[in-house]
Chains A and B, each alone.
Chain A
Amino acid sequence: MKYNPRIGKMMAVALAGALSAGSALAQELTGTLKNIKETGAITIGYRDSSIPFSYLDDNQKPVGFAMDICYRIVDAVKKELKLDKLEVKLNPVTSSTRIPLLANGTVDLECGSTTNNADRQKQISFTNTHFLTASRFVSKKSSKLNSIDDLKGKTVVSTSGTTNIKQLNEANAARNLGINIIPAKDHAEAFLMVETDRAVAFVMDDILLASLAAGSKDPDAYVISKDAFSKPEPYGIMLRKDDLPFKKVVDAATAELYKSPEGAKLYDKWFMQKVPPKGLNLNVPMGPEQKKAFAQPSDSPEPDAYTAM
C-alpha cells in the first residue's frame, strides 16, 4: 500500500480534536481528583518504621524517600487542579490497614515500601516503581554463611505473609535443603530472632535487612548475602484502582521526577547519606536495575521488566 500523506494530516487533526476534547473533559473531575478539589486536602498514608522509605523521625514527623516522592506528587496535583492552597493530611498506616484505608477513601496515596505484584494489582494500582529490592538473607558474620546452600539443615526465619517466606519455601523444596523455616510476626521480631540466635538467618528484602542491621546494637556483626532468592522486585506508591485521571497525574509526576537529576539526588539523600534519627548511612549505591527504573519509569509488577541489559 502506498502511503498517502493526507491520512497523516487527517490523523493529526483527529488527534488534536481528541486532545482539546480531553482538556474540556478535564473540567469534569471524577474520583480522587474531584475529592481533592472539593475538600482542598489530600491525605498521605505513611508507615512508622519503614526506614528509609517512610518512617517517623525524632520529632515524630513522617519522613523518607517515599514521603519526598509523595510531596512531589502533591505539588503536581496542586498544579493540575490549579489550587492556590492544598492541605496535606498525614495518616499512619500499617501493613494490615493500608488496603482498607485506601479503599474507603481515608488515604489517597500510600507512601511506603509496598511490593508491587500482579496479585495485588487486582485490588489497587501502583504508580511508577521507586525502588527495586531482591530477597536475600542477613546473618551474623560469625556463622560464616555465604550462599543459600549454606543454610542447609539450619533454622531460618522470615516474616509471615511476605513474598520472601514464599521464596524461601520454594528454594527449600527445589534444592532439597531441609531448612527449618520459622515465621515471625514482623521484621523487627524476625531480626531479634537472629540477634538472639533462635535462627541463623533472616530472609527479607535486602534494603530492609540493610536498615535493620544498620540500626542494630552492633551493625558490624551482621552480613547480608550476595546470593539472592529472587530477581529484584519493584516497590511502588499505592493509589485506588480504576481512577485513571488521578493515576495519570501521579504517573506523570513520578516519571518526571525519576527521569530528572532530582530523582538521583533524592536517592542519594536517603541511601548514600546519613539519615535521621540515628544518623545511619545505609550506603546502598544505585544498581543497574534501579537506574533503568528511573530512566524508563514503569508500574509493571514483573521483575523481568526491570532487568538491566
Chain B
Amino acid sequence: MNYNWNWRIFWEPSPNGTGNYLDMLLSGLVLTIEAAICAWIVALICGSLVGVLRTLPSRGANRFGFWYVELFRNMPLLVQLFLWFFVLPELLPRSWGLWLKQLPNAPFYTAVLGIGLFMSARVAVQLGAGINSLPRGQKMAGTALGLTTAQTYRYILLPMAFRIILPPLTSEFLNTIKNTSVAITIGLIELTAQARAMQEFSFQVFEAFTAATMLYLIVNIVVVTAMRYVERTVAIPGYMTGK
C-alpha cells in the first residue's frame, strides 16, 4: 500500500472557502439529518394512511393500498428520484415544469418527497402487518361496544399496532437516514456527497470516507438510543409489547 495518510486533513482549509474540511462534512451531515427527518415525517403520515387502507373492510381501499405499495416498493429508489427530478417536469405543461425547475432547493424537496414516499410503502406494510397481528377479538369488541370503524382504529387498533411495530419502525428510520445518500444523484450535497467532494479536492480518500462512516454511525447510535427510550416510555405493562 503506497498511501500517504494524513489525519490532519480535516483541519486544513477546504478549497470552497467555507472553513475547513471538517466544516464541509458537518454541513453535509446537517443536510442529511434535515432530509432524513422530513422524509421520515412524509413516510409516517402517508405510510400510516395507506397501512390503514390495506386493512379496512372495503375492497376499493384494499386495492388502492395494494397498488400504492407495489408501485413505490418495487422501483429502485435511485430510479424514483431520477423520475421525480428529471422526468416529471418534462411531463407537466411547460410553464409548470419551468416553475418546478426554478424552485430554489429543488433537490432537497424532491429528495424528501421521493425518499418519503419510497419509505412510506414500507411503513404501510409494517403497519398493516401490525394491525393484522392483533387478535380478531379486539376489532369485534370495538364493534360490540358500539364504536365506529374510525373509533375502533383510533382508540383500540392503532395504539396497539404502533406499539408492536416500534422496533421495525426504528430500523426503517435508520434506512431513511442511509437512503438520503442516494439523493447525491439529484444534486443534494449531503454527507456522502461532501465526503466525495473532499476526496476529489484532497485525494485523501480513506480519511474522507472514514469520517463519513463515523458520522453516520454516531447518528444511528443516537437514533437507536432515543427509540429504545421511546419504546420503554410507551410500553404498557401486561401487554405483549410491555415488559
When chains A and B are docked, how far (Å) is the Cα of A183 from the Cα of B27?
A: 14
In contact, B201 and A189 (Cβ under 8 angstroms) = no
Chain A 170-197 near chain B by CB (<8 Å), digits 1 or 0: 1001000000101111000100110011
- Is B206 among interface residues, defined by CB-CB distance under 8 A? yes
Binds B, one of A16-24, A237-245, A265-273: A237-245
Chain B 221-233 near chain A by CB (<8 Å), digits 1 or 0: 0000000000000
Q: Please report B residues at the A interface, Cβ cutoff 8 Å.
A: 1-4, 6, 15-17, 86, 89-90, 98, 101-102, 104, 106-107, 184-187, 189, 193, 196-206
- Is A103 among interface residues, defined by CB-CB distance under 8 A? yes
Contact partner of B204 (CB less than 8 A), chosen from A123, A165, A240, is A123
**Which residues 69-126 in A have Cβ within 8 Å of B in the complex?**
95-96, 99-100, 102-105, 119-120, 122-124
Which residues of chain B are within 8 angstroms of A166 by Cβ–Cβ distance?
15-17, 201
- Is A155 among interface residues, defined by CB-CB distance under 8 A? yes
Among A95, A124, A185, A240, max chain B CB count under 10 A is at A185
In contact, B6 and A182 (Cβ under 8 angstroms) = no
Which partner residue on chain A sits nearest B82 by CB separation? A189
Dominant secondary structure at the A interface: mixed
Dominant secondary structure at the B interface: helix
Which partner residue on chain B sits nearest A115 by CB separation? B200
Q: Please report A residues at the B interface, Cβ cutoff 8 Å.
A: 95-96, 99-100, 102-105, 119-120, 122-124, 155, 157, 160-163, 165-166, 169-170, 173, 180, 182-185, 189, 192-193, 196-198, 240-243
In contact, A122 and B197 (Cβ under 8 angstroms) = no
Contact partner of B17 (CB less than 8 A), chosen from A160, A170, A242, is A170
When chains A and B are docked, how far (Å) is the Cα of A183 from the Cα of B16?
A: 12
- B227 CB to closest chain A CB, in angstroms? 32
Assess A119 versus B201: contact at CB under 8 Å? Given A155-B102, A160-B189. Answer: yes
When chains A and B are docked, how far (Å) is the Cα of A182 from the Cα of B187?
A: 7
Which residues of chain A are within 8 angstroms of B16 by Cβ–Cβ distance?
165-166, 169
When chains A and B are docked, how far (Å) is the Cα of A196 from the Cα of B197?
A: 25
Q: Can you spell out 27 A-B residue pairs with CB atoms less than 8 angstroms apart? A: A95-B200, A99-B203, A103-B2, A104-B1, A104-B2, A104-B3, A105-B1, A105-B2, A119-B201, A120-B202, A122-B6, A123-B203, A123-B204, A157-B187, A160-B189, A160-B200, A161-B197, A161-B199, A166-B16, A170-B17, A185-B184, A193-B187, A197-B98, A198-B102, A198-B106, A241-B2, A241-B4
When chains A and B are docked, how far (Å) is the Cα of A157 from the Cα of B101?
A: 13
In contact, B205 and A100 (Cβ under 8 angstroms) = yes
Which residues of chain A are within 8 angstroms of B204 by Cβ–Cβ distance?
123
